[in-house]
Structure 1
Amino acid sequence: MTKSKSIFDPGAGYIVTASHQWSNFNEKVFELFYQPILGTAAFAMFHALRTQLNEKPAISDRHLQSQLLVQLNAGLRTAEEGIQRLEATGMLRTFTQTDQLGDLFVYELQPTLTPAEFINDNLLSILLLEAVGEARFKELGEFANRFALGSHQVTLKEITHNFFDAFHVDDQRITHLPTEITTTRKK
């Protein structure tokens, strides 16, 4: 995002949307893995934005950024830092436009990674280790693998059936998708 203008112009509008993968958001993972690296301002910002999430967002249904600052009881610098940390950790995407109603910011909430994906991300895992220390990081690693068999899985032979073993789909429909599918994908 460009630094030429503050994103917290109190007169600018904002709306909150969510990624199409939002159903994958996990509150426990957010608290255990993200909160230690986000800090209180970004953690509060995320939850403040989440309270504004609407199932049918519309550009015209905007709120003033000043209302968000009041809700957070935070200044511009704190709010901007919170937004930047959320963006940097992949929890938020920010879009902007100017229209007849003025400046608008669209905040798109993103789902959490799985614990294993988080641990396997070099940048996030380094930040987490620095924030929580070795002992807690090890505990979080165990949490990430809590449902796995571990070393016993090495001797197992996988016999899982693939899609075409279980379902029979007309080849023509695969290569020439029905209009309903292509239209819905475009949306």
Structure 2
Amino acid sequence: MENAWKEIQPKNIYRIVRMLPNTDLASEALLHLYQPIMGAQALALYLTMTSEINQLTGSSEESLHAELLTMLNCGIPQFYEARSKLEGIGLLNTYKKDSSELGTVFVYQLLSPMEPVEFFKDTVLSFHLLNTVGEKKFQRLVQQFEPKTFHVEGYQSITKKFLDVYGWQNQELIEKSEKLERVTEKFQLLQARKPVANELEVLNWSFVEELLKRKLGTTVHLTDTIKELFSLYHSMYGVDELELIELSLPAFDMMSGEFNQKELQRVLTVSTLPNNKKQVPEAISNEGPDEELRRWNTLRQEGFNEEELALIKDSETIPPMIYLEAIKEQKGGFVSKEETWLIQDLINKSPLKNSVLNILINYVLVVKNNASLTRSFVDKIANDWSQLKLQSPEAAIRHLKSVKKEAAKKLETAPRRTGQKRVRREKLPDWLNKPQQETAADPKKQAEIDRKLQNYLAKKEGDH
């Protein structure tokens, strides 16, 4: 959690603002739908921030983070993680600026939760909720919040229209139209929130629809939601078009001519997917053997060794989830739900290619020798790499080499400080103590990990 201390200090000032209050339904969604995904600490942070806002002004007073930490009874790392979870799930926007007088100042903009109907329309949020609470609890939540219908066959509607009851005053409307327009403009400033799930254009949809037509004997219209599910599993697990169709057929409803979304999530998540993982390249390369050979020779001339070239090849041929599972197994660990969600979010939100994400995974778990992928640490790296527009695994490796070289150079040229004047510092509570620095792993472990990775993947392929 070293990055948390670099990002926030207890002395930093913050202010909280919000555009709209939560509705009753949104509050229900926050407790029953959002909280299982983001956890109790993030919920406590959201509710604490909400309590500080003046309902008339829509803003809080300026305060120190130390006061907020005291109310939450947590430290900087725990606060940073909770804040990140709120940001990632679409409940918080964070802004900061550096002031010569006040130092770093933060503004936290609270966003209202989606109401349940909109929440369940979002593929990624529904997927996370299903994985968190399990099939039985998920279905109970669906039943609790799904729109209820009432059949009115045999009844005649006698409902009166608005104008029949309240009338219409044209002259008064003309006189007050300018004032009404100003009010309308205020509410039009609010843009519709984009869903967490973004369609991933990685599958050949015309090919998918043609294959479905051959299998089912009828034309199938794929909705955006179904496309999101297919793309998500393709990106995470490397399931290609043929496999996706075979796995998804039980979820197709011949009566309606459409896929049942809930059943599709079930067959892809719970039953057959773990037994159908396969190595596939992230994209079909248009390069011929000569171009490919020139690429490797050019990288060798730049100074890339054979272990690094093998790492690049692995990163381009193995989906991120399979890559993560392989490394975790060879280290004697396992992939947690939080890590699965993290990889899914990176695939959905970041512009980084799967091959670059694999280099990131390798860096955190092998080079840095961390036991697991921590969201705050990984998000920081992914954001940096996205802003640097690292579009290939070799570009990511070059960047890591450059950062390491620059750090070593600064360490060598740093002047030795002697006789420094002692400065009195306030003793902070135990929960504000800064965690220890990370220690890098032995680089020689990389070759051993690569060898075990290949053995693991060969074994997996042999299981099919």
Q: Is the shorter-chain TM-score for this pair beyond 0.5, marking a shared fold?
A: yes
1:78 aligns with: 78
1:44 aligns with: 44
Shift in Å at residue 101 of structure 1? Answer: 2.7
Change (3 A) 1:27 1:76: same
1:136 aligns with: 137
Shift in Å at residue 182 of structure 1? Answer: 3.5
Change (3 A) 1:46 1:6: farther
Amino acid across the alignment from 1:111: S
Report whether the alignment pairs 1:24 with 2:20: no
Please give the root-mean-square deviation of Cα atoms over the aligned residues, in Å.
3.6
SS of residue matched to 1:30: helix
Q: Deviations over 1:79-126 (max 9, x none)?
A: 111111111111111122233333221112111211111111011111
- Structure-2-length-normalised TM-score: 0.33
Higher strand share: 1
SS of residue matched to 2:9: coil
1:103 aligns with: 104
Amino acid across the alignment from 1:41: Q
1:68 aligns with: 68
SS of residue matched to 2:114: coil
Alpha-carbon distance between aligned partners in 1 of 2:9 and 2:31, rounded to the nearest angstrom: 29
Alpha-carbon distance between aligned partners in 2 of 1:58 and 1:114, rounded to the nearest angstrom: 23
Identity of aligned residues (%): 28
1:127 aligns with: 128
SS of residue matched to 2:10: coil
Change (3 A) 1:76 1:94: same
Q: Which has the larger radius of gyration?
A: 2
Change (3 A) 1:130 1:153: farther
Amino acid across the alignment from 1:134: E
Report whether the alignment pairs 1:94 with 2:97: no
Segment of structure 1 superposing worse, 11-20 or 130-139: 11-20
Unpaired stretches in structure 2, ≥5 consecutive residues: 190-464
Amino acid across the alignment from 2:106: F
8 Å CA contact retained: 2:5, 2:76: no
Higher helix share: 2
Shift in Å at residue 16 of structure 1? Answer: 1.4
The count of residues paired between Structure 1 and Structure 2 equals 180
Shift in Å at residue 128 of structure 1? Answer: 0.4
Unpaired stretches in structure 1, ≥5 consecutive residues: none
* Greater relative CO (CA pairs within 8 A, separation 6+): 1
Shift in Å at residue 23 of structure 1? Answer: 3.9
Shift in Å at residue 28 of structure 1? Answer: 2.2
